[in-house]
Copies of this chain bind each other. A is one copy, B any other.
Amino acid sequence: MSNLTTNFNNKTIKYKQLLSNFKSLLKKNSLKFTVQREVILKTLYNSDIHLTPESLHQLIQKKYPELKTGIATVYRTLSLLEESGIATSLSFGAQGKKYELGAKKHHDHLICTECGSITEFVDEEIEHRQQKITEELGFKMSDHSMQIYGICKKCQNK
């Protein structure tokens, strides 16, 4: 499975800092810093909504048409970002996956199964428990992801 090495953890971060983290991650794993990878990272950073690989690809094609970035590269880079903990993906069953930078600050997700909206939240207590549980089981945690599915307030009032 994944064999990437990472060493920084995720806090709210300026793009410059993020980029520098990304670069050192690449170097550490003998990967190359390419203009496509940068553009993908930057576009994700500048988007405040969760993007699908497809929509991210379209955004990039429109903004940087001269690059002719292929969809395969978008998929590959998103996987890379996810494996290294820089981005996170949310599963939407039939509707595919959506990505976001996980670099802001760690948080979990409430997903409305009616309208697809995503609400983020952080709960220290849960984070704590997770740490404790993994320790008890002799597991060395590197990452986690949690989603709660249900119906949001708006959709309940319809």
Give the total of A residues in contact with B, Cβ under 8 Å.
41
Which B residues are CB-close (under 8 A) to A17?
Answer: none
Across the interface, A140 reaches (CB within 8 A) one of B1, B93, B146, B151, namely B151
Q: Across the two chains, which residue of chain B brings its CB closest to A2?
A: B113
Q: Are the CB atoms of B133 and A123 closer together than 8 Å? A: yes
In angstroms, Cα B1 to Cα A149, docked, is 12
- Give the interface centre of A83, A140, A143 by most chain B CB atoms within 10 Å: A140
Query: 3 shortest A-B CB distances, which residue pairs?
Result: A138-B153, A141-B150, A146-B146
A150-B142 in contact given A79-B93, A137-B119 (Cβ < 8 Å): yes
Sampled A-B contacts (27; CB under 8 Å)? A1-B112, A1-B113, A1-B116, A110-B133, A110-B134, A110-B137, A112-B139, A121-B133, A123-B133, A125-B125, A126-B130, A134-B148, A137-B153, A138-B152, A138-B156, A139-B152, A140-B156, A141-B148, A142-B149, A142-B151, A143-B149, A143-B150, A144-B146, A144-B147, A145-B147, A146-B146, A146-B147
